[in-house]
A = this chain, B = another copy of it.
Amino acid sequence: MDLRKGQIEPILDPNQSTYVYHLALDIGGSLAKVVYFTKDDDYFVDSEEGISNKKALEKSNGSRQYPVLNGRLNFKKFETSKINDCLEFINSMKLHFGGNQEQEIPGSQPIAVKATGGGAYKYADLFKERLGIILDKEDEMDCLVAGANFLLEVVHQEAFTYMGDQKQFVQIDQNDLYPYLLVNIGSGVGMIKVEGEGKFERVSGTSIGGGTFWGLGKLLTNCKSFDELLELSYRGNNRAVDMLVGDIYGGMDYSKIGLSSTAIASSFGKAISDNRDREDYKPEDIARSLLRMISNNIGQISYLNALRFGLKRIFFGGFFIRRHPFTMDTLSVAVNFWSKGEAKAMFLRHEGFLGAVGAFMSSDKHGLKELLANQVVQKAPSKLSFAVDKIIHGQPDGDESIECSVYAA
């Protein structure tokens, strides 16, 4: 009846033959992320997943039959510089009214929506004026950690390792999940030591992050988007601009300290050449060198902090990664190199939506959150539907939705 208190009620969404339940926002320096829940229809469990859920439920209330709320968690993102697109999407979907036209009555009270990220403060007035939404602010770190914990605990095949073009899903034993280092690579980079539900500390970070890649890349190439720059880096060779150990040692290794001739001695160190200007370097080589410089650096600082607190697992999230193979490989290699194989780099399927999922979970403290946290179950991975939004072009990560079932036990 009322979204303001975060209570939930299925309301027909005219744009889809589904119900819109719930909405949360994470508005960062570069991207605004939206997570919302859409309901399909109720049924009684008899599927294979049902059985496992049934078991879960038997534990909780001993019933043998129970209604199931089938639905999806939907993920969508917008550029923060185009925040109006985000407002329009919410408005067109009537997400803030749970999709209910009728609530748009004059003088209706403002509606509270959970939001995190700096934009929750920066754009608070805009959301109020344009949509009558009051952004109910949640702390950024709280949300990042809550989102990561939820995804790691609930979603099958959320975490994976990536090295040498080998992607490998890792099923995390929930009893063995903590402690870990969460590295969120957005415009900047935050590093958080996570020891349990709501038990964490921001231990480090670096200003050399996704905004640096895109900012420097934009100044150095003619790329029109982050993803175009990322695409470009596929084709590049960093040796054209980086000074390698071999360039200094006349092709030789500096074996005494274990530096091979192909190791990077100085990122962009070859660009100091007097007789060459920017035009003489290929944009793809510059993009590649930038990506390697930044990924390497993040991997190194992450490792040093994992070492500091004795954390064996480092989960990398944030929209810098975008499932880009070279980025993930560089981060993995850096962590592996510096830790001599001691620490492991892992990645999250929903890397960019940690904060938004956390904000989503933060609402309705005693209802939907528990329902989901305890009982959301994905269908078999093969049935996962990735509804890539065609409006946002060429995002390797895509906008997607997770089919899930909520048990109204």
Report A's interface with B, CB cutoff 8 A.
28-30, 81, 117-119, 121-124, 139-141, 186-188, 202, 204, 206-212, 214-216, 218-220, 226, 241-243, 245, 247-250, 252, 254, 256-257, 264-274, 278, 281, 286, 293, 296-297, 300-301, 304-305, 307-308, 338
Contact = CB atoms under 8 A, between A and B. Distances in A.
A357 B264 CA distance: 26
B297 A242 contact: no
A233 B218 CA distance: 21
Contacts of A122: 248-250
A25 B370 CA distance: 69
Quick one: which of A188, A243, A272, A308 has the most chain B CB within 10 A? A272
A331 to B, nearest CB: 15
B305 A215 contact: no
Contact of A188 (B140, B141, B266): B266
A175 B301 CA distance: 33
Contacts of A307: 308
Contacts of A271: 215-216, 218-219
Given A122-B250, A250-B121, A269 B211 contact: yes
A206 B293 CA distance: 9
Contacts of A338: 204
Nearest to A303: B304
Contacts of A209: 266, 269
A186 to B, nearest CB: 8
A252 B307 CA distance: 33
B304 A266 contact: no
Given A29-B247, A81-B273, A206-B300, 6 more contacts: A121-B249, A188-B266, A208-B208, A209-B266, A215-B272, A218-B272
Nearest to A286: B219
A10 B31 CA distance: 70
Would you call the interface of chain A mostly helix, strand, loop, or mixed? Answer: helix
A286 B212 CA distance: 12
A208 B297 contact: yes
Quick one: which of A241, A268, A297 has the most chain B CB within 10 A? A268
Contacts of A308: 304, 307-308
A300 B300 CA distance: 11
A124 B250 CA distance: 10
A303 to B, nearest CB: 9
B269 A187 contact: yes
A238 B268 CA distance: 20
23 contacts: A29-B248, A29-B265, A81-B272, A119-B248, A122-B250, A141-B256, A187-B248, A204-B338, A206-B297, A207-B242, A207-B269, A207-B293, A208-B267, A208-B293, A211-B265, A212-B268, A215-B241, A215-B269, A216-B268, A219-B271, A300-B301, A304-B305, A304-B308
Contact of A281 (B186, B188, B206, B219): B219
A335 to B, nearest CB: 14
Given A296-B207, A301-B304, A267 B212 contact: yes
B121 A272 contact: no
A269 B121 contact: no
A265 B188 contact: yes
Contact of A211 (B226, B268, B286): B268
A266 B207 contact: yes
